[in-house]
Amino acid sequence: MIAFAAALLLSAQDPQWNCANPQAQQEMNYCAEQDFERADAELNAAYRTAVAGAQQADRDYARDAGGANDGPGEEATLRDAQRAWVSFRDAQCRMESFEARGGSMQPMLDSGCRATLTRARTAELRGPECPGDAEQAQLNACLNRLFTRADAALNRQWQETLTARPASAEQLRTAQRAWLAYRDAHCASAVPSVASAEITEAERLGCRTRMTEARTHELADLAAMGE
């Protein structure tokens, strides 16, 4: 009975966070952390699925190769890659949070960065939504639809971010123009020159879609921060 009463007292003392419209910095920090935890849960589910797929691929290979051992398999390689990615994410976001080092905003910047990179990694683990065994023209049409959808989501978030941060509108426009130029240049150069025109188009569409989705999350984080 005493423990129950103590729990009620602690519950009554907990602040009521409004993550739909956070105002105080402590509230923003809490909401950013909650957003990261949601993203991390999605990543863990995608990772478990990817590991199961890699384990099955290893079993299939072992059967077809007659038990030959030619080094680490898909599961071991995936686990190594995931550990390396976690180290990268945490180091990258720690560095980005140093923009507010020692200040009350630092936890929010760190959580926001980790949520953005985590969602990008989840998309990588889930793989493309378009069937890989389709004819190249059909695959490109599917990839183009995905990019169009991502671009529309980016444009919607862009308008919301401008509305949330009117005093920073000019700086946001300058940054967005620079980002668009960077995205297009990066995706144009990220394809091997020996690839056919259709494969080149598929790779560029996939690259632009991934970068566009990541940028949409970055703009959402900026909008949540307010002025």
Q: State how far the Cα of 88 lies from the Cα of 75, in Å rounded to an integer.
A: 20
Contacts 24+ apart (CB under 8 A), 217-220: 217/115, 217/116, 217/119, 217/120, 218/116, 219/154, 219/157, 219/158, 219/160, 219/161, 220/157, 220/160, 220/161
One domain for residues 137 and 120: no
Whether the pLDDT of residue 9 is over 50: the answer is no
Locate all alpha helices (DSSP H) within the chain, ordered by sequence. 2-13, 25-64, 74-97, 106-126, 136-164, 169-189, 197-225
* pLDDT at position 4: 41
Range of the domain at 147: 133-227
One domain for residues 37 and 74: yes
Domain boundary among 85, 102, 127: 127
Tens digit of each residue's pLDDT (9 = 90 or more) over 141-158: 888 888 998 999 999 999
Rg (CA), the chain: 22
Whether residue 15 lies inside any domain: the answer is no
Whether residue 175 lies inside any domain: the answer is yes
| Angle formed by the axes of helices 197-225 and 136-164, nearest 10° | 20
Tens digit of each residue's pLDDT (9 = 90 or more) over 158-201: 999 999 889 889 999 999 999 999 998 988 887 665 567 888 88
Report yes or no on whether pTM surpasses 0.75: no
Query: Sorting pLDDT into bands at 50, 70 and 90, what band is 69?
Result: low
Tokens describing residue 144: 């183009």
Q: State how far the Cα of 50 lies from the Cα of 70, in Å rounded to an integer.
A: 21
Total residue count of the chain as it appears in this document: 227
Q: How many domains does the chain have?
A: 2
* pLDDT at position 138: 84
Whether the pLDDT of residue 1 is over 50: the answer is no
Tens digit of each residue's pLDDT (9 = 90 or more) over 78-126: 999 999 999 999 999 999 899 888 999 999 999 999 998 998 888 888 7
Q: State how far the Cα of 60 lies from the Cα of 67, in Å rounded to an integer.
A: 10
Whether the pLDDT of residue 7 is over 50: the answer is no
Q: Within a 10 A sphere around the Cβ of 139, how many other Cβ atoms?
A: 21
Tell me how many degrees the CA angle 7-11-12 measures, rounded to the nearest 5. Answer: 120
CATH code, domain with 119: 1.20.1270.180
Q: Within a 10 A sphere around the Cβ of 38, how many other Cβ atoms?
A: 12
Least confident interval from 57-66, 135-144, 145-154, 208-217: 57-66
Whether the pLDDT of residue 19 is over 50: the answer is yes
* pLDDT at position 161: 92
Domain boundary among 127, 147, 162: 127
Tens digit of each residue's pLDDT (9 = 90 or more) over 22-62: 788 888 888 889 999 999 998 998 899 888 888 888 888 88
Domain boundary among 109, 127, 145: 127
Maximum pairwise Cα distance, the chain: 74
Whether residue 13 lies inside any domain: the answer is no
Note whether 132 and 52 are within 8 A (CB): no
Whether residue 186 lies inside any domain: the answer is yes
Whether residue 26 lies inside any domain: the answer is yes
One domain for residues 75 and 96: yes
Considering 66-80, 185-199, 202-216, the range whose residues carry the highest mean pLDDT is 202-216
- Cβ contacts of 69 within 8 Å, gap of 6 or more: none
Tell me how many degrees the CA angle 130-204-144 measures, rounded to the nearest 5. Answer: 45
What would the mean pLDDT of 117-136 be, rounded to a whole number?
78
